[in-house]
Amino acid sequence: MGLVKEGVEGELTEELTVFGKIPVFIPRVDQPRKVVLVTGGSRGIGAAISLEFARHGYNVVIADIVRDQEAEKTLEAIKNLGVEAYFVEMDVSKSESVSKGISEALRLAGRIDVLVNNAGITRDTYLERMKDEDWDSVLNVNLKGAFLCSKAIFPIMKRNGGGVIINISSIVGLLGNIAQANYAASKAGLIGLTKTLAKELAPYGIRVVAIAPGFAKTRMALAVPSPILQEYLRRIPIARLVEPEEIAKLAYHVVENEALTGIVIPIDLGTTIASPLA
Would you please indicate which residues are annotated as catalytic (active-site) residues? 183
When computed from its CA atoms, the radius of gyration of the chain, rounded to whole angstroms, is: 22
Cβ atoms within 10 Å, residue 77: 14
**Rounded-to-integer distance, Cα 167 and Cα 213, Å:** 11
User: For the chain, where are the E strands, in sequence order?
Assistant: 10-17, 20-27, 35-39, 59-64, 85-89, 114-117, 163-168, 206-213, 264-267
**Rounded-to-integer distance, Cα 2 and Cα 178, Å:** 71
What lies within 8 Å, CB to CB, of 47 at 6+ separation is 41, 70, 74, 77, 244
β-pairing, 10-17 with 20-27? Answer: antiparallel
Query: Around 190, how many Cα atoms within 13 Å sit in the side-chain half-sphere?
Result: 36
CB 90 within 8 A of CB 64: yes
The residues facing 11 across adjacent strands are 26
**How many residues can be counted in the chain?**
278
* Nearest to 228, CA basis, from 156, 277, 155, 170: 277
29, amino acid identity: V
**Rounded-to-integer distance, Cα 41 and Cα 37, Å:** 8
Helix pair angle (69-79, 44-55), 10° resolution: 10
